[in-house]
């Protein structure tokens, strides 16, 4: 913090001052000036404190999908730079809303905004990392990776058309499992969610009846089940409710020891979620900076691709150049130093070529 200098004009050395016809003796003027100077000093110090705090803290809000990674990156960045990243995990809908209302330095969303919406709201958008959404189940003794789903069965479960776990359609995909006659409980996101957007976009692509009856988006009306707030809420419900099925970002499944499923992909192969299958899906993506990187990665064509993969995006208010430069410094640091942490948490770092595209985009917008 810079040293505060008291202007010489505030220093009083006269023994007596005449003010508006009154004679004030030195002890009177001394007391008044002492209070006046203290008030000025407090004001200056408060202004300095606020300026320093503004420079040393960035406020962001949005997607719960990347929250574990952003938290880890922010912790490491703060240790090196002293700058705090205050990120609130409130869901993609909240992140889009808050950045549009200019109440945060950056928003985060797994539901990419189309270029016309970016223009309308005067925003900037770029991808930060890639991950996967996974179905998770709580079915008796079934362990992670044992239970298999194809698009049709997954769709019918979430439509509420399959009522029990030992239904013939489920047993057909899982002939080697002894499934209980237990009622299915669907757990979905109750808040506006990019995770839901990725999940329902996948169902929309692969299941005509889902597209007809429900559709895709951050917040859709699920035909049945219980809503949980955030990835955390869905994870907690699935963990506690026997017979349940939900969907969460993979890091939440790992952290909460949830039983994730295999899923049949576009190539016809049953694949397990993980770094390799997410990376395979990411390699199929053609991100275009001219379109503000708008792209979905669901139902990717690769032989080993996880079918419910997606990028998560950062949103900036176009006119907030100074704040945007500070946000970009953080993500540029993460692009250079955060890949190992991303892999540790089973996210896929952006390929080098995509990072270069993002940096070129920043330069074009005058924030890098």
User: What ranges do the domains of the chain cover?
Assistant: 8-55, 59-129+314-364, 133-282
Please tell me the distance from the alpha carbon of residue 316 to that of residue 327, in angstroms, as a whole number: 9
**Domains 59-129+314-364 and 133-282 belong to one CATH topology:** yes
Please tell me the distance from the alpha carbon of residue 309 to that of residue 296, in angstroms, as a whole number: 8
Kindly report the CATH number that applies to the domain delimited by 59-129+314-364: 3.40.190.10
User: How high is the pLDDT of residue 117?
Assistant: 97
User: How high is the pLDDT of residue 31?
Assistant: 59
pTM, whole model, 2 decimals? 0.81
Please tell me the distance from the alpha carbon of residue 58 to that of residue 327, in angstroms, as a whole number: 7
Yes or no: domain 133-282 corresponds to CATH 2.40.110.20: no
Please tell me the distance from the alpha carbon of residue 235 to that of residue 164, in angstroms, as a whole number: 21
Of 79, 51, 85, 76, the C-alpha closest to 327 is 85
For 86, the enclosing helix (H) or strand (E) is strand 84-89
For 291, the enclosing helix (H) or strand (E) is none
Beta strands in 193-301 (DSSP E): 226-228, 244-249, 259-260, 262-264, 270-271
Print pLDDT tens along the chain (368 aa). 444 343 333 333 333 334 344 454 445 545 555 565 555 655 554 444 443 344 589 999 999 999 999 999 999 999 999 999 999 999 999 999 999 999 999 999 999 999 999 999 999 999 999 999 999 999 988 999 999 999 999 999 999 999 999 999 999 999 999 999 999 999 999 998 999 999 999 999 999 999 999 999 999 999 999 999 999 999 999 999 999 999 999 989 998 999 999 999 999 999 999 999 999 999 888 899 999 999 999 999 999 999 999 999 999 999 999 999 999 999 999 999 999 999 999 899 999 999 999 999 999 999 99
HSE of 103, CA atoms in CB hemisphere, 13 A = 10
User: How high is the pLDDT of residue 225?
Assistant: 97
Which tokens hold the place of 212? 């007809």
Beta strand 22-25 pairing with 16-19: antiparallel
* Residue 268, number of CB atoms within 10 A of its CB: 8
Residue pair 232/226 in contact (Cβ under 8 Å)? The answer is no
Burial-class residue 168 by CB neighbours within 10 Å (0-12, 13-18, 19+). exposed
User: How high is the pLDDT of residue 170?
Assistant: 98
């Amino acid at each position: 913090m810079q040293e505060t200098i008291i202007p010489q004009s505030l220093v009083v050395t006269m023994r007596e001052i005449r003010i508006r016809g009154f004679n004030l003796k030195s002890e009177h003027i001394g007391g008044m000036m002492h209070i006046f100077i203290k008030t000025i000093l407090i004001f200056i110090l408060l202004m300095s404190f606020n300026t320093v705090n503004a420079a040393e803290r960035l406020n962001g809000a949005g997607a719960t999908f990347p929250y574990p990674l952003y938290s880890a990156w922010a912790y490491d960045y703060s240790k090196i730079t002293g700058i705090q990243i205050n990120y609130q995990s409130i869901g993609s809908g909240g992140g889009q809303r808050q950045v549009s209302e200019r109440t945060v330095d950056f928003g985060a969303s797994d539901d990419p905004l189309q270029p016309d919406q970016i223009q309308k709201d005067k925003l900037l958008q770029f991808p930060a990392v890639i991950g996967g959404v996974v179905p998770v189940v709580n079915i008796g003794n079934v362990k992670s990776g044992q239970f298999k789903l194809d698009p049709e069965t997954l769709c019918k479960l979430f439509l509420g058309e399959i009522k029990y776990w030992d239904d013939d359609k489920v047993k057909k995909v899982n002939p080697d499992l002894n499934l209980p006659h237990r009622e299915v409980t669907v757990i979905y996101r109750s808040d506006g969610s990019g995770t839901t957007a990725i999940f329902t976009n996948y169902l929309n692509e692969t299941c005509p009846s889902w597209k007809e009856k429900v559709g895709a988006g951050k917040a859709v009306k699920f035909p049945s089940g219980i809503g949980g707030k955030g990835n955390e809420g869905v994870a907690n419900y699935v963990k506690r409710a026997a017979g349940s099925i939900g969907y969460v970002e993979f890091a939440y499944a790992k952290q909460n020891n949830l039983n994730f499923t295999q899923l049949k992909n576009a190539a016809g192969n049953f694949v397990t979620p993980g770094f390799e299958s997410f990376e395979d899906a990411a390699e199929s993506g053609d991100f275009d900076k001219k379109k503000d990187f708008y792209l979905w990665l669901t139902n990717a064509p690769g032989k080993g691709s996880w079918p419910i993969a997606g990028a998560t995006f950062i949103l900036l208010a176009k006119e907030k150049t100074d704040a945007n430069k500070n946000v970009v410094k953080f993500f540029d640091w993460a692009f250079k130093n955060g890949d190992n942490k991303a892999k540790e948490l089973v996210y896929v770092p952006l390929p080098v070529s995509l990072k270069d595209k993002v940096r070129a985009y920043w330069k074009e917008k005058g924030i890098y």
